[in-house]
Amino acid sequence: MTTKKELIEAVLKQRENGMLKESAALCAAAIESFPDDADILHLCGVIESENKEYQNAITSIKKALIINPNMPSAYNNLGVALSESGQLDEAIEAYSKAVSLMGEYAPAYDNLGLALKRNGKLSQAIECFKKAIAIDASYSKAWYHLGNSLYEIGDMDGAEKYLIRTTEIAPRFADAYGNLGSVYNERKEPSKAVECFRAAIRINPDHINAHWNLSLALLLSGEFEEGWKEYEWRFALKDSEKRTFNKPKWDGYSPITGKTLLLYAEQGFGDSIQFIRFAPIIKKTCAKVIVECQKELTRMFGRIEGVDAVITQGEQAPGFDLHYPLLSLPLALGINPENIPDSPYITPDENEVEKWSGLLGDSRQDLKVGLVWAGKQNHFRDRLRSVPAAIFAPLLEIAGTKFYSLQKRNQEGAGNEAIESLGIIDLTDKLHDFSDTAALIANLDLVVTVDSAVAHLAGAMGKPVRVMIPFVPDWRWLKEGASSKWYPGMRLFRQKVPRDWASVVMSIKEDLAEMVRSKNIS
C-alpha cells in the first residue's frame, strides 16, 4: 500500500512540473486512502485552488481545519480561495486567523493586505504590507503590493521606492517593472517609463500591459513609428472588444485597388472624430470606403470626404472585401508628427447651422463661447480630466461674453446643478447627436473644454478651441507645448502641477479677456 508520504510527494512532483490536472487526480486517490487526513485535504484544496476550482478548494480546506484547527498555512490558503471567489470578508477572517496562529508569517500578512485592499480598506492594507516586509525583507510580493498601493493613493515617491526595491529583490519580476513605468508616467517622465516597459518586455515578451503602456509613452513622446506598432497590442487587452467579420482583415500594406474597405470605430467618440481624418487618404488607394461608427456620429461622418457609406455599430454591413480598425490607419499610413493631415475635415450641415443661428439670436457684439467640463465617467482617465462646472465661474465675469453649454444634461459627472446658477445658456436638450453639436459650434466664436470628444469636434471643424490638459496628458497632446499637431486652431492650457485647475482657468480667462479687448479670435 502507498504511504501518505509517498502520495504527498507524488502530488507535489506533478505540481512542480505544472501538471495540475494530474496532481488533482492523485489528490482524489489520496483522499480515498486517507479521507480524514488534514494534510491530504489541505494539499488537495491547494491544488483545487490552483485549478481555479475555488468552491471545491474551500470545502477541502475547511474539512482539513475541522480535523486540525492549528494549521496557519491552511487558513492562509483558505483565504486565497475565498478571496478569489469574491468572499472578501471571509477571506480577511481566514488570513487574520493565520496571522494569529503563526504571528510572524509574511505571506499571510501580504494576503491579508490584498484582501483588505480589494475590500476598499487601503490604509489597513498598506499597514499589512509593511508588516510583511518587517517580518521578511526579502518577500518581494509585499514590496510590490505596497508600491502599487502607494501609487493608488497618489504617493508616487513611495511607489517608486518600493517598486525599485521589488526589482532589486526579484530582478525577473516583469509586473514590477511595468508598474514602475506607470509611476514614471504619472510623474511625466516618459523616457524612464519607456525604459521600465522595455525591461518588462525583455523578461516577458508577451507582457500585454507593458506593450500597451509602452505604446502610450512612445506616442506621448512623439515617437510615432514604434508607438503605432506597439499600439496594436490594445487588441490583446483584457477589456478589448474582439470583433469578428466574415471577410479578412486588411494587413495594412497590401494593395487594395478596386476593393471595398470597411473601417470600424473601436473606442470613444473623440477617438473616432480624431481618426476619421484618414478616410480621404485611404479612399485614394481603394474603390470604396464604408465606415461603421457610433450612432451619434453617423450623420456627421456621412459628410466626410472619401466616406462612401456610413453604418451604425450593430447594423449589417453592406458588401465589403476587407475590414480594418479606424485607429490602426496611422500605422498603415506611416503617420508621424510632421505629416498629420490638417483640419478642418468636418463640416456642419448648412440647414442645421441656420436653425441654430435662429435659436441663439443676434449677439454679434458678444464673444460666444461653448463650455464642456466633463467627459464620460467610465473613461479610465476621467478622474484626471473632468471638473465641476463651477470651476468656470471666473470666465463668466468677463464683460462682452456669452457662454453656452455643450455639456449634455444628465451626463454622469456633468454637474448640471451649477448651470443655472452660473448663468450658462443651456440649449443642449436640442442636441441629439454630434451633427447637432457641430451646427451649434459653428455659431460660436470659441470652445473651452476639458479633454473631451467636443475638443476633437471643434478642432476638426477648424474652430478656435482652448483645451484644459491635466498634468499627465493623454498621449495625443504630447508631453509639452501650447499647440496641437492634430488641430492647428487648438491651444492647450496645461496644468503645471497635478490637480491645479484654478490656475489653468485663470490663464484661459486672461486669454478670453484679451480676445474681447482686441476683437481678435484665433
Q: Read off the pLDDT of residues 231-276 as tens digits, 9 standing for 90 and up.
A: 999 999 988 888 889 999 999 999 999 999 999 999 999 999 999 9
For residue 232, what is the DSSP state?
A: G
Residue numbers of the chain with a pLDDT score lower than 70: 1, 363, 377-382, 409-418
For residue 250, what is the DSSP state?
A: P
* Cell numbers at 241, concatenated: 472588444
Query: Can you tell me the distance from the alpha carbon of 333 to that of 110, in angstroms, rounded to the nearest whole number?
Result: 48
- State the amino acid at position 240 in one-letter form: S
Torsions phi, psi of 450, nearest 5? -75, 175
Which positions ≥6 away from 88 have C-beta within 8 Å?
82, 115, 118, 119
Burial of residue 129 (CB within 10 Å: 0-12, 13-18, 19+) is buried
Which positions ≥6 away from 255 have C-beta within 8 Å?
285
Burial of residue 477 (CB within 10 Å: 0-12, 13-18, 19+) is buried
Q: What is the pLDDT of residue 417?
A: 62
Condensed to tens digits (0 to 9), the pLDDT of residues 168-185 reads: 999 999 999 999 999 999
Which positions ≥6 away from 109 have C-beta within 8 Å?
95, 99, 128, 129, 131, 132, 135, 142
Q: What is the pLDDT of residue 382?
A: 67
Determine which helix (DSSP H) or strand (DSSP E) holds 367, and give its type and residue range.
Answer: strand 367-372
367-372 and 309-312: which strand pairing?
unpaired
Query: Can you tell me the distance from the alpha carbon of 283 to that of 261, in angstroms, rounded to the nearest whole number?
Result: 9
Place of cell 488533482: 24
Q: What is the pLDDT of residue 377?
A: 66
Contact 521, 367 (CB under 8 A): yes
Q: What is the pLDDT of residue 99?
A: 87
Which positions ≥6 away from 350 have C-beta within 8 Å?
none
Q: What angle do CA 219, 224, 226 make, to 5 degrees?
A: 100
Q: What is the pLDDT of residue 414?
A: 47
Which positions ≥6 away from 319 have C-beta within 8 Å?
260
- pTM recorded for the entire structure: 0.88
